[in-house]
């Protein structure tokens, strides 16, 4: 018999073998779909109303669903602090000051979570990790907007912010509810182009028959079908995780019975444990990406020849690419894609002097930043520092 339980979440969690908070998290991802559908139907000419809707839903998630009153304060401190740093600090060190502030604030909460040692409880650190990517990128984009265009790369020109956004636009950006708790992250310019619907403009001269189909006078293309496929894929990954996690779990490797198995059996268990662990991330990232697609933010353009619409702007993982990777570069390139892009564009290329190619020091700084961003468990540092050496060796020519 199931133990006495107080809420429907605890009842279903007891059946599925998940914690109530984990079940709430999945529920919030699924709830984001109908809410993203409503968001998409807010008139294009009312961006302020879109921002208010986004802020209201995120507030409901944080306070109504997870009771994270302190978490609201945490996100506010990080966001307001980064905005003030970008607004009032001039000079080349501004984005680094923003980086230290955001990462330092995150580190305090990461340590508190590590000492609490309650991995099944959802706290604010997951949302804050996503926010750190947004805010540090925001500071760099503002810094780029103050430089002459001749000093910027094409990527930096596209993302540069020349005028600080209003507080309402900024709040909508940092609290975008489909990606609030688990990502994906994106740059402010992408959000501004989405909320102003300039993202959906097609190049002049494009054949009208090749334009993405829209409903009535709305500029955001129809996205229900690709969003539904992502939702279905996400639920499939999560169901597979729930099925396999009962047989393949970390404690199995730490028990005495594991060493009684033959070598090939032990390798098989280790391999299946890795796959099972990744399934959880495949599911979560597919669900959040699907909600972003439904809102329209996943739009990446339309092929002017075939008329096929691309919705992978915010794709965060390519499961087949990860599982079939032939080298470390392919593996890392298909895993946590948006975090890799953030590390590349706002750390790897930023620590490299202009006119020089990134080297080992840039690679090491990037992987250490990744470990620091993840938290303070020693395994992160062993993994990412080793990955820096492996990546460097993989790029070195051999006779």
The answer to whether the beta carbons of residues 331 and 203 sit under 8 Å apart is no
What region does 314 belong to: left with phi over 0, alpha with psi -120 to 50, or beta? Answer: alpha
**Torsion angle (degrees, nearest 10) of CA 311, 155, 350, 359:** 80
CB 66 within 8 A of CB 24: yes
Beta bridge partners of 302: 309
Owner of token pair 């609030």: 180
Residues in the chain: 399
* Cβ-proximal residues to 174 (8 Å cutoff; 6+ apart), any chain: 75, 79, 131, 134, 135
Paired with 301 in beta bridges are 310
DSSP H or E run through 310? strand 309-310
Catalytic residue among 105, 265, 271, 374: 374
Task: Verify whether residue 265 is a known catalytic residue.
Answer: no
No. of helices (H) and no. of strands (E), the chain: 17, 2
The Cα–Cα gap between 261 and 200 comes to 57
| Token pair 């020519």 in the structure block, residue | 397
Report the chain's terminal Cα–Cα distance, integer Å.
66
C-alpha distance from residue 93 to each of 143, 355, 362 (Å):
9, 19, 18
Active site amino acids: 374
């Amino acid at each position: 018999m199931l133990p006495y339980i107080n809420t429907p979440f605890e009842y279903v969690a007891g059946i599925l073998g998940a914690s109530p908070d984990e079940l709430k998290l999945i529920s919030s991802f699924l709830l984001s779909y109908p809410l993203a559908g409503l968001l998409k139907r807010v008139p294009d000419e009312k961006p302020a109303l879109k921002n208010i809707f986004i802020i209201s839903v995120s507030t409901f998630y944080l306070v109504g669903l997870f009771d994270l009153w302190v978490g609201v304060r945490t996100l506010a401190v990080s966001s307001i602090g980064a905005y003030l740093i970008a607004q009032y600090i001039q000079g080349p060190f501004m984005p680094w000051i923003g980086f230290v502030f955001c990462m330092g604030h995150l580190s305090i909460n990461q340590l508190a979570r590590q000492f609490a040692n309650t991995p099944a409880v959802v706290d604010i650190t997951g949302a804050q990790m996503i926010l750190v990517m947004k805010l540090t990128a925001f500071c760099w984009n503002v810094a780029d907007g103050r430089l002459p265009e001749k000093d910027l790369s094409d990527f930096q020109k596209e993302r540069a912010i020349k005028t600080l956004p209003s507080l309402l636009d900024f709040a909508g950006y940092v609290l975008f509810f489909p990606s609030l708790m688990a990502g994906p992250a994106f740059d402010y310019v992408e959000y501004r182009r989405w909320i102003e619907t300039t993202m959906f403009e097609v190049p002049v001269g494009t054949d009208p028959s090749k334009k993405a189909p829209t409903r009535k006078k709305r500029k955001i293309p129809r996205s229900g079908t690709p969003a539904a496929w992502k939702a279905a894929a996400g639920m499939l990954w999560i169901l597979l995780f729930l099925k396999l996690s009962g047989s393949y779990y970390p404690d199995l490797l730490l028990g005495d019975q594991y060493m009684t198995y033959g070598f090939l059996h032990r390798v098989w268990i280790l391999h299946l444990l890795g796959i099972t662990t990744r399934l959880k991330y495949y599911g979560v990232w597919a669900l959040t990406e699907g909600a972003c697609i439904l809102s329209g933010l996943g739009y990446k353009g339309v092929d002017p020849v075939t008329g096929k619409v691309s919705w992978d702007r915010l794709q965060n993982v390519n499961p087949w690419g990860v599982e079939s990777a032939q080298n470390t570069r392919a593996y890392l390139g298909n895993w946590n894609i948006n975090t890799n892009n953030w590390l590349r564009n706002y750390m790897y290329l930023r620590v490299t002097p202009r006119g020089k190619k990134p080297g080992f020091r840039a690679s090491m700084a990037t992987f250490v930043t990744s470990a620091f961003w993840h938290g303070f468990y020693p395994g992160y540092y062993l993994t990412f520092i080793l990955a820096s050496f492996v990546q460097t060796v993989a790029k070195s020519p051999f006779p």
